């Protein structure tokens, strides 16, 4: 019940609201998959405005843990920085042009509940986009994904001592989950989430801007000094 309510919150959020909605699956003490839901983000506004924004979700259920701080911009950036994992991760993503539909959310929950499991966690998350980024035309800069609703991502995290056969089953789960989400996302991908499994990655990352970028590359870097 909470998932669609929070998706509505993201859909109707003011442009000053930036947030990541994360649904995580881990093994519980009873050996069963357990789901948790987390919001991480910031609002350029007051705590009262934030409370009004989240009121529909809070009317349904109170959070297990809540932390709200009023900070200056750079202090907020430091607070929101995520420490790198000490283990390993595998992540695949696509841009979602529109909010995730009810069928899409049902697919997400179904996939998370079917997580094969290991010493780690599985995640689906969406990074809300838009705001002033969307005021700039997609072809005005190299960054083309200015009109999307968000970035939909599937991720697996684990320690380094997982048996290879068990790990492969979980990696396949990420791929299957990613494929299942294709029906609810576009074929575009955020280029800062590099994915070695991405097919036609240049088009996925740069879209209609690719041809111009190739021209710029040929003109200013004909010897491919800057490469990956």
Q: Mean of the pLDDT values across residues 116-139? A: 93
Selection from 59, 14, 64, 15 nearest residue 39 by Cα: 64
Q: What is the pTM of this model?
A: 0.91
pLDDT over threshold 80, residue 84: no
The confidence score (pLDDT) of residue 157 equals 94
Over pLDDT 70: what percentage of the chain?
A: 99
Angle at 23 between CA 158 and CA 199, to 5 degrees: 65
Exposed e or buried b per residue across 32-67, where buried means at least 16 C-beta atoms within 10 angstroms of its C-beta? ebebeeeeebbbeeeeeebeebbeebeeeeeeeeee
List the structure tokens of 216.
Answer: 């710029």
Q: Measure CA 188 to chain center.
A: 13
The confidence score (pLDDT) of residue 138 equals 95
The confidence score (pLDDT) of residue 228 equals 77
| Residue 108, φ and ψ in degrees, nearest 5 | -60, -50
At residue 131 the predicted structure's pLDDT band, cuts being 50, 70 and 90, is confident
Contacts of 98 (CB under 8 A, 6+ apart): 149
The confidence score (pLDDT) of residue 120 equals 92
At residue 143 the predicted structure's pLDDT band, cuts being 50, 70 and 90, is very high
| Residue 76, φ and ψ in degrees, nearest 5 | -65, -40
CA–CA gap between residue 162 and residue 118 (Å, rounded)? 7
Most distant CA pair in the chain, distance = 61
pLDDT over threshold 90, residue 21: yes
pLDDT over threshold 80, residue 59: yes
The confidence score (pLDDT) of residue 22 equals 95
Q: Mean of the pLDDT values across residues 175-202? A: 94
The residues pairing with 186 across neighbouring beta strands, listed in sequence order, are none
The confidence score (pLDDT) of residue 90 equals 94
pLDDT digits (tens, 9 = 90+) for 22-58: 999 999 989 899 999 999 999 999 999 999 999 999 9
């Amino acid at each position: 019940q909470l998932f669609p309510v929070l998706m509505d919150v993201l859909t109707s959020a003011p442009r000053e609201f930036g947030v990541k909605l994360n649904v995580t699956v881990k093994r519980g003490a009873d050996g069963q998959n357990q789901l948790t839901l987390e919001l991480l983000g910031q609002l350029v506004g007051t705590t009262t405005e934030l409370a009004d924004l989240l009121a529909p979700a809070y009317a349904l259920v109170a959070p297990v843990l809540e932390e709200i701080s009023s900070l200056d911009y750079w202090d907020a950036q430091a607070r929101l920085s995520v420490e790198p994992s000490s283990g390993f991760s595998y992540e695949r993503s696509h841009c979602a042009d529109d909010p995730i539909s009810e069928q899409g959310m049902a697919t997400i929950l179904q996939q998370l509940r079917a997580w094969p499991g290991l010493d780690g966690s599985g995640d689906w998350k969406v990074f809300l986009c838009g705001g002033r980024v969307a005021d700039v035309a997609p072809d005005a800069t190299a960054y083309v994904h200015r009109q999307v609703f968000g970035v939909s991502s599937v991720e697996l995290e684990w320690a380094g001592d997982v048996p290879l056969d068990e790990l492969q089953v979980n990696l396949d789960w990420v791929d299957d989950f990613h494929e299942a989400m294709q029906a609810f996302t576009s074929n575009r991908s955020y280029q800062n989430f590099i994915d070695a499994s991405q097919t036609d990655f240049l088009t996925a990352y740069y879209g209609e801007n690719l041809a111009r970028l190739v021209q710029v590359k040929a003109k200013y870097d004909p010897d491919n000094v800057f490469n990956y």
